[in-house]
Structures are given as structure tokens and as C-alpha cells.
Structure 1
Amino acid sequence: MSTAPAPAGDLTARARIIASALDRFAVHGYDAATMRDIAAHAGVSTALVTHHFGTKQALREECDARVVRFIAEKQDASTSPAEVLNQVLGVFGPYLARMLGAGGGSGGEASAVLFDRLLAVARAMIADGAASGWLRPSLDPEAQAAALVLVSVAPFLMLDRLTAWAGGDAEEALRRISVPLAELYTHGLTTDDRLLAAAGLTAEVSR
């Protein structure tokens, strides 16, 4: 599954390298991806990748910066927080899953920045939803934001398994899994308060 191809009109060698790195890091993880593979996928020489970025870590930092800029641009365009999250995951979902998960490699600080940006979007979405009445606030909104990021990224983290489950079609896997997730968000999962009770809470307290 290809990740974040270079936008139309942005087909310079540098843009192709970044698009290739986003894809290769998403597919193989940071440590397993190689500069040679990134170069081949971009249709350029390894020397040109080194010329533009120097090291694999610097290239990864540029990929992270592109994700952060994408989020900032969407927020500056007054896009709703929910739509920002959907668009970020739609474009960078596989990359984020790898970089935030075990495949993120040695770039722990960069992963923390990405997570913090997604967490900020989730916080804004929760605040916006609670203020307008379409989202139920939690007793712990900060943990609610973290849980939202976790659930949003998880399908991409398990995309290989989901793709196999869906007969080899990654797009179909994500489409199908989005339906029960939307049902879970909209209607909840249980018909009584047993899970709240197990957590030491009551339905009245959680409202």
C-alpha cells in the first residue's frame, strides 16, 4: 500500500525521495528500510539521496516534518479537528503506525513529536465535540484523547493482518473495519454498565 505520493506538480527528485521514504518507512519500519531501497523506489541514485539529506535519520526527520506541516496547514485552513484527524490518517496512516509503533526505530524523540501533534488534534476534537454537544466528554479527557489516537492508528499498525483477513485487499480491510468503529463511537458497545462497574465507575458518574 503506497503512502503519501508526491503531490501533482511536486515531482522534483527531492519530493520523490520524501514520498519514497514515507512509503518505505511505512512498509519496512525505520530500521529495516535502507537508503538504497528508498532511492530505487524513488527512481534516483543512492548518492542523490545522500546529497539531499545526508543520513537516513535526517530523511526520517524531514518525513516527520512533512506530517507536522500537513497537520498545521489543515488546522490553519479552519478544518474541523475531526476532519483533520481523518485526513492525516488517510494520507499518513501507515507511516504514523510504523513510526509510533515498534517499527519507529531509533527516532524516539521524533516519534514523541508526532504523537504530541496527534494528541493535540484529538484534544481539540474532543473539546470541540463536547462544546457543541455531539461528543460525550470523559471523566479523563486527556486519556480520552490518547485513547482516540490509539484506536485511530491501530488499524494501520495491524494492516498486514487486516489485509489478509479481508482477502488481500488493504483498502477493503480499512473500509470494513471503519464501520464497526463508527458504530462503536456512535452507539457504544454494551447495553449495560458492567464495564464501568469493573472500572469502579457507574453510569451516572460517567455522564
Structure 2
Amino acid sequence: MPPDDLTARARIRDASMAVFAERGVAGATIRGIADRAGVSPALVQHHFGTKDGLRAACDAHVLEYLRGETKAGLDDGRIGESGYVAEVYASAPPLMRYLARALVDGSPAAAEVFDEMVGLTEAHLADRPGLSDPHTRAVVYTAMKLGVTVLHEHVSRALGEDVFGPSAAPRVGRATLDITAPGMLPDGLAERARAGLDAFEGERS
């Protein structure tokens, strides 16, 4: 496939995520997505076929992104790096807006994202003390974390700025750490996360 086709495909996918986030899958149209991407409806259909094909591509992209960033942040230890924090805050908002709508509308990937986040969380909580079992704690913690995503419009209104923006996102990150740390998170994780936030905000100031 020529490079320009790859670029067009990614542009269409990104436009689809934006339109789906705004209107839901039911309210989105191939023509509207094509207009947002700056391409013809025929090209959209050439790459993805139908709206279901577009949604499947968006779902797969979100899952791949979350897996990659989780691995980089936690498994590879980059959560304490300002560059990693900046990268996430720059790239995540369109995906989080799409995910917020998908969780409400019941996208096939929404259940997979939730279950995968529960699994990742449970693995990190397995040796933490608590009166409830690690799986239940992981389910509840994941629901709480995704609640900020689903309720992003209300959270943004209450904070007075876009919750996905580079200023509010660290505020939410610090508040999350205050609520969960130190007892719930693995040893040292909260400190590394705060160090990443400090470095990111220090470079922005």
C-alpha cells in the first residue's frame, strides 16, 4: 500500500473518532466523516467499507494505544519521565473523548477496554493490603478512573478547564494519587508518577 494511502487511512480513522465522539455511531454518517477527513465518501468506503468497519478500526486503535502506553509507563518505567507525560497528554485526548462515548454507547471495544484495565490493575494490586479481594478492588478502581473520562464534560466544567488539557490533566493526576496513595498503589509508583508530573509542569512553566 502506498504511503499516501496509509496517511489517508489514518486521517479517516482519526476523523471517525472525532465524529463518533461528538455524535455517536448512530448519529455519524460516512459523508460527515469524509468531510471531516477532507476525502471523498468513496475513499472512506474503500478503506473501511461501512461504519461498523470504521468503528472496529477506532476500537482497535484505542486498545493498541492503551496497551502501548501502559507498557511504556508501568512495565518500562517511563511514568516518571516528563517526555512520557507530555506524550500522553498530547496524544490521549482524542482517544479518551472517543472512549467516553463508546463506554456510554456500548461499543464492542468498551467492554474489552474495561476488562483489560481491570486485569492490568488487578495484577498491580495483587500484593496490596485490603479487606476486599484484589479483583473487586480492581473493578471498582477501574470504574472510578473511567468515570472521569465518561463524565469529562462535567469534570471540565467543575474544574473550569478542559480535563484533557495540559493544565487540568496534571491536576486530575495529582488528585487521583492523593486519593489512592500510598496504601493502594505498588511501592514507589506514586512517587514516580508525581516526579513525572513535576518534571512535565516544570518544563511548561
Bin the TM-score by the shorter chain: 0.5 to 0.7
Q: Residue by residue, what CA displacement relative to the aligned partner does 1:116-151 show, whole Å, maximum 9, x if unpaired?
A: 222222222323xx2xxxx44552211111112111
**CA separation in 2, counterparts of 1:183 and 1:93?**
22
Query: Which of 163, 168, 174 is residue 169 of structure 2 equivalent to?
Result: 174
Whether contact under 8 Å (1:80, 1:125) holds in the other structure is: no
Q: 1:126 to 1:36 in 2, by over 3 A?
A: farther
The 1:162/1:74 distance shift into structure 2, 3 A limit, reads closer
Distance between the aligned counterparts of 2:131 and 2:43, measured in 1? 50
Counterpart-to-counterpart distance in 2, 1:183 and 1:77:
23
Per-residue displacement from partner, 1:84-130 (whole Å, max 9, x unpaired)? xx959x72322222212x233xx4x4332222222222222323xx2
- The alignment of Structure 1 onto Structure 2 pairs a total of residues equal to 167
Deviation at 1:79, TM superposition (A): 4.3
Alignment correspondent of 2:188: none
Note if 1:120 corresponds to 2:123: no
Residue matched to 1:40:
35
Corresponding residue of 1:141:
134
- Percent identity over the alignment is 34
- 1:1-207 aligned at under 5 Å gives the runs 12-73=7-68, 79-80=74-75, 91=92, 92-100=95-103, 102-104=104-106, 107=107, 109-127=108-126, 130=127, 135-137=128-130, 139-170=132-163, 171=165, 172-186=167-181
The farther-off stretch of 111-120 and 65-74 is 65-74
Scaled by the length of structure 1, the TM-score of the pair is: 0.66
Asked if the contact 1:21–1:63 (Cα under 8 Å) also holds between the matched residues in 2, the reply is yes
**Higher relative contact order, structure no. (Cα contacts within 8 Å, ≥ 6 residues apart):** 2
Please give the root-mean-square deviation of Cα atoms over the aligned residues, in Å: 3.2
Question: Gapped runs of 5+ residues in structure 1?
Answer: 1-8, 189-207
